[in-house]
Structure 1
Amino acid sequence: MLRDTKLAETTTLPGLLRHWAQTQPDRLAFREKDLGVWQRFTYRDYYEHAKDFAYGLLALGVEPGDFLAVASENTPEWMFSDLAIQALGGACIGIYPTNPWPELRYILEHSRSRIVVCGDQEQTDKVFDAIKYEGELPHLEKIICVDMKGLKHYPRDMLMSFEEVSELGRSKRAEYGDRFERSIDALTPDDPAIIVYTSGTTGKPKGAMLSHHGLIWGALRLSERHKVDETNWEVLCYLPLCHVAERLCSTVMQLVNGSTVNFAESIDAVGQNLREIAPSGFLGVPRIWEKLQYAVIVRLKDATPLQQKVVARALELGRPIARRRLENGGRFASLRDRLVYALLWLICFRPLQKSMGLDRARTMLCGGASISSDVLEYFWAIGLRVYQVYGMTELSGISHSQYPGHTALGDSGPPLETYDQKIAEDGEILVRSPAVFPGYLRNEEATAAAVVDGWMHTGDVGVIGPDGSIRITDRKKDLIITSGGKNITPSLIENRMKDSIYIREAVLIGERRNYLTALIQVDYETVGKWAQEKGLAYTTFKSLSGLPEVRALIEGEIEKVNREFSRVENVRRFDLLTKELDHDDGEVTATMKVRRAVVESKFKDQIDAMYAA
């Protein structure tokens, strides 16, 4: 971590980049895999590439206060664009590469971005589709594409390659002199650095403006909590960089600590890239942790019977130890537990960790949604201490985190240092911190509703434990009130159903109804493998969901969950979705959060059938 924390708290992200480029220019900043070989970028490379691109933007007429959007998979060019526009006094806006063109258009139009950087032909096509079908975007002046493959015959009046802009910048170095450095010096910590558009689960996405100060503050406090520095925070960057958690834990933590970021080839290659890199730090959303666990289960099926028995027995012994550790703040509950675990680690758990690529990991975090207690317990059992975190875009990322001494299942840990918290009368969690965002872009009304007297109204309902740890129970707007007046917390029941490896998504229905029902999306991968093992034939997601045996399988899983809740909280009926909920169809957001109103509208016939007499 930057030893002069006062400097870090009073500088900007481009200021931190310049610091590392000047003090340790040969330190490794990025790795990106190209044609099977990991290519290296030092902090000098990072700084010089950002400078060239910034000068290219200057030559195109970009001015302080302008916005640049990026629609791309994670690459070094993403970050060169990000730091270049920030250094010029502007802000960067990330657009999920999975966003359909209408959502991309809304963000470009609302933000009034002058430049959009696209990763490839697919993203470039979305911009041209947005213009073709809805008319011009009056503020958009240039489309800059990183990978020009397939774009040879595209009109070039608006389109340039990333390399062309960088080359233009290099040609302007003599003319512009030290303008890049002077521009960085003119920045203030309170200037907006990035704008993150919220998921838009209940309406149009809002552009949350995040300042240099807020992002750096959050990264410093998280680094302090987990004793992170340049030696123990090499990470794999795989979540979209427009996601605030990835931005904080990869690129901002990188600049605060002078550490290394490795760009994953794709979300499907995360497992392989983890094994190649063996990072020392790792942020995973629940789905990633579930996939890592499931990958081990699948590989074990090809192991010898003896190996399978050894692993099964090791987990049988390790899980109770893990449970006691979690209840004991992460510490072994007894000398016997410590000795038994040491033996299990030598025999079984060490190779399991290595097979995941997490044998060198020292700081592992899980955030973004609730994770199954069973999954979390599994990783603790094999010796991987995964700490749950909580945060939101408007808090510049992570605001709460578990750490040794605070590891209770279901909690997200106490607030980071300098963060205050309290519970409002209606149960909503309020947070106050220097990292609270300055407001939504061009939306004063929403800003005033979100931040009152310095307190961020998170929209989450929860409780605070004796040690200050926070436990989220639901979203404030998602509470279900049945026709009998019973308040139901849907996320508790939905998350328990999703603890099943066979259930990918569960949407609880019951607002003003006599009883609860659920729409269930099966997990195509795990249920598909189950069906193959049973000799059941299927060809598509629809045909798999339509199998009577699959319905019986899910019914059994729901019955297990029902036994954990009161009668009024039981799911009386359910139906299986015949398609996967899809971002392109507007049913989920880019971060895979369910848009309940859309789902209830689209599947109204199925819902009505569950309530038919």
Structure 2
Amino acid sequence: MSLKLDAIPGMTMPQVLRERARLHGSDLALREKVRGLWQRTTWADYYEQARLTAIGLYALGFRPGDRLAIASDDTPQWYFSDLAAQMLGGAGLGIYPTNPWPELQYIVRHSKARFVVAGDQEQTDKVLDAQANEGGLPDLQQLICVDMKGMRAYSREGLMGFDDLLALGREREAELGAEVDRLIDAGQPEDTAIIVYTSGTTGMPKGAMLSHRNMLSNACDIARIHGLDARSYSVLCYLPLCHVAERSFSLVQQIVTGCTVSFAESVDTVVPNLREIAPLGFLGVPRIWEKMQQSIDYRVQDTTPLQRRVFNFAIARGKQIARRRLANGGRFASGGDRVMFGLLWLVCLRALQKYLGLNRVRTAFCGGASISEEVLLFFWTLGVPVYQIYGMTECAGASHSQRPGATSLGTSGPLLGVFEQKLAEDGELLIRGEACFQGYLFNDEATEAAYADGWLHTGDIVQIEDGGELRVMDRKKDILITSGGKNITPSLIENALKDSPYIREAILLGDGRKFLSALLQIDLETTGKWAQANDVQYTTYRTLAENPKVRELIAGEVARVNDRFARVENIRKFEILRKELDHDDGELTATMKVRRKAIEAKFADEIQTIYGDAA
């Protein structure tokens, strides 16, 4: 007996979790590495821990309609807290662990969250700083910390450990358990389940409210399209859970499919953890896929000449096969291609897959931002099927997905079945459907603007290919129009620049100007390796960025990119940034997206150097 996908969108997430525990109680649900050993949590334990958390929160005063903020790295307690809030008819919202206390303060205060779960001492200190400064957190009633290490001297007024919360749940279970069970039963699919604060590239973050139906219908559609179930899907949870993508593809997709989720020790140990658990599925943002490709490039440089020749031959032949395979919907275009790939896999590609921990992956996804076609082609060359997805917070994570039969390079696949779509006159994508969000918390004006004419305005300029696949051109607000009236799509040129192993970030300039230019951030690791190999001395990022030989290197990379584009799209001048872009300095969002306006203001001197007084 199993849960049917068609029935799940009519439930709440706690109700689905309860069914999983009833049907598959002894099966493995969660794994977390503690002191070097993987600790296992069954479905029965998973539900029981979330329920005890809910009872503890109810005893502390959490009631239907309340909101629980979670500031923590990914842990099982993140899941327990999120689902506990939902069990009580409330909503969970995440805060990036990298957010400084003023950003945490804004989100907790704006959401009027009365309860906060902090992951450790660092996150607890941010909450305490937010309480003590600039108006504090007037609605906060209880702070709960998962890892109390180093906090023995802290005042316990308004602060308790997560283990103490579970103990309170056990202590009050006989008294309050029936009421919590009643609240779980009373939950409705249209109830707000989670609130996701957008990354705020153009202003302060907005809290997008998503219902149980929004999240579950979206996850069910993806599971149906890709054939995901407990036998074919397992994942590593490592991206911040406050982002809708990780929440959707690990927590929600898990209860939908019944798969196993393993928690990475940290974002820095993703590849080692992948090698250990060898998951069947994997979600990566562009930067993760780019770093994986670069890690192979580094490794190859340290091999023997014979090994490098074998690698170069395998990749060159494999790319030809991969291009034909992608054009054929992900299937080998011929028996000859299948045989040749098998030989390349035995000789070289198998070892590369194992090195990355992707040797068992059946379904991988790439989303979150635009990515170079060359990066995706590389992983298909290795034999790792990476399907590009498109979506946004306001559509529960994904609205389009590549899939077997729809894998055209550079597209994000056809529309999911839970949506409708149309294009505005200027090419902006508009969507609507049962997975579209309920609106922005305490911001009716922004909600009305997002839902103009009854359609969700995505802000992206797109093309719909003949086969129905979506090709994203760029953000509507990012399109550049030169003084000559030429419309330029920045992301195409920026991604081409970032194909270079030596360029980490590229910001195209030229709106209202006579020519295009770029601000470039070099990649410290790869450029540093190049510098060592070429006897270029440096001590810091800045000394490396200011070195004339490095400028020559980057100029060559820019020239290579210019050869791929029309003359009007060529970069005439560039400046190498003398510092790395940083979230703490307001130059990047928490999801590492570039804040263009902030950068243009902060690096006005560099832009003046490029353009002078020229218009």
| Number of the residue aligned with 1:231 | 231
Q: What is the DSSP-based 3-state SS (H/G/I as helix, E as strand, rest coil) of the residue aligned with 2:517?
A: strand
SS in 2 for 1:397: coil
State the AA in 2 paired with 1:168.
L
Corresponding residue number in structure 2 for 1:475: 475
Equivalent-residue separation in structure 2 for 1:300 and 1:567 (angstroms) = 35
User: Whole-Å Cα distance in 2 between the matches of residues 296 and 55 of structure 1?
Assistant: 48
* Distance in structure 2 (CA, Å) of the matches to 1:2 and 1:586: 48
In the TM superposition, structure 1's runs of 4+ consecutive aligned residues that sit over 4 Å from their partners are: none
User: Following TM superposition, by how much is the alpha carbon of 1:511 offset from its aligned partner in structure 2, in angstroms?
Assistant: 1.9
More deviation in 517-526 or 129-138? 129-138
2:452 alignment partner in structure 1: 452
Deviation, structure 1 residue 134: 1.1
Matched, 1:385 2:382: no
Q: Equivalent residue of 1:519, what SS? A: strand
Q: Secondary structure at the match of 1:154?
A: coil
1:50 is matched with 50
Matches within 5 A, 1:54-203: 54-203=54-203
For 2:352 and 2:514, the matched residues in 1 are separated by 48
Q: Is the 8 A contact 2:5 2:256 kept in 1?
A: no
Q: How far apart, CA to CA, are the structure 1 residues paired with 2:579 and 2:132?
A: 30
* 1:160 Cα deviation from its structure 2 partner: 0.9
Matched, 1:563 2:563: yes
* Aligned partners of 2:46 and 2:80 also within 8 Å: yes
**How many Å apart are 1:7 and its aligned residue?**
2.5
Q: Which amino acid aligns with 1:327?
A: A
1:2, 1:256 within 8 Å by CA — same for their partners in 2?
no
Which residue matches 1:498?
498
Match of 1:583 in 2: 583
Preserved contact between residue 418 and residue 435 of structure 2 (Cα < 8 Å): no
| Residues 121 and 150 in structure 1, CA contact (< 8 A), matched pair in contact too | yes
CA contact (8 A) 1:542 1:579 kept: yes
What percent identity do the matched residue pairs reach?
59
Q: How many residues align?
A: 613
Does the residue aligned with 1:597 lie in a helix, a strand or coil? helix
Q: How far is the alpha carbon of 1:272 from its aligned partner?
A: 0.1
TM-score between the two structures when normalised by the length of structure 2: 0.98
User: For the structure 1 residues 541 and 2, does the alpha-carbon distance in structure 2 shift closer, same or farther, using more than 3 Å as the test?
Assistant: farther
Which piece of structure 1 moves more, 182-191 or 495-504?
Answer: 495-504
CA distance in 1, matches of 2:328, 2:412: 15
User: 2-side partners of 1:388 and 1:493: how far apart?
Assistant: 19
Partner of 2:405: 405
Aligned position for 2:17: 17
Written as runs of structure 1 = structure 2, the 5 A alignment for 1:251-270 is 251-270=251-270
- Provide the residue aligned with 1:531 in structure 2: 531
Unmatched 5+ stretches in structure 2? none
Q: Offset of 1:68 from its aligned partner?
A: 0.3
Task: Tell me which amino acid in the other structure corresponds to 2:395.
Answer: L
- Equivalents in 1 of 2:539, 2:420: separation in Å? 53
TM-score, structure 1 as length reference: 0.98
**Aligned-partner Cα distance in 1 for 2:2–2:239:** 25
The corresponding residue for 1:598 is: 598
Contact 1:2 1:257 in 2 (8 A): no
1:413 and 1:469 in contact (8 A); partners too: yes
Cα deviation, residue 289, structure 1: 1.1
Deviation at 1:2, TM superposition (A): 5.3
The 3 A distance-change label for structure 1 pair 29 and 454 is farther
* Contact 1:367-1:389 within 8 A present in 2 as well: yes
What is the one-letter code of the residue matched to 1:49? Answer: Q
Structure 1 residue matching 2:342: 3-state secondary structure = helix
The correspondence of residues 156-555 of structure 1 with structure 2, limited to 5 A, is: 156-555=156-555
Q: Distance in 2 between matches of 1:418 and 1:58?
A: 35
Question: Would the aligned equivalents of 1:2 and 1:8 in 2 still touch at CA under 8 Å?
Answer: no
Give the conservation status (yes or no) of the 8 Å contact 1:2–1:258: no
What SS class does the counterpart of residue 177 from structure 1 fall into?
helix
Unaligned runs of 5+ in 1: none
- Deviation of 1:453 after TM superposition, in Å, equals 4.5
CA offsets 1:317-365 (integer angstroms, 9 cap, x no match): 1111111111222222222212211211122212221221111110011
Q: Secondary structure at the match of 2:557?
A: helix
Native 8 Å contact 1:143 1:158 kept in 2: yes
Aligned-partner SS, 1:542: helix
CA contact (8 A) 1:223 1:229 kept: yes
Given that residues 271 and 356 in structure 2 are in contact (C-alpha distance below 8 angstroms), is that contact kept between their aligned partners in structure 1?
yes
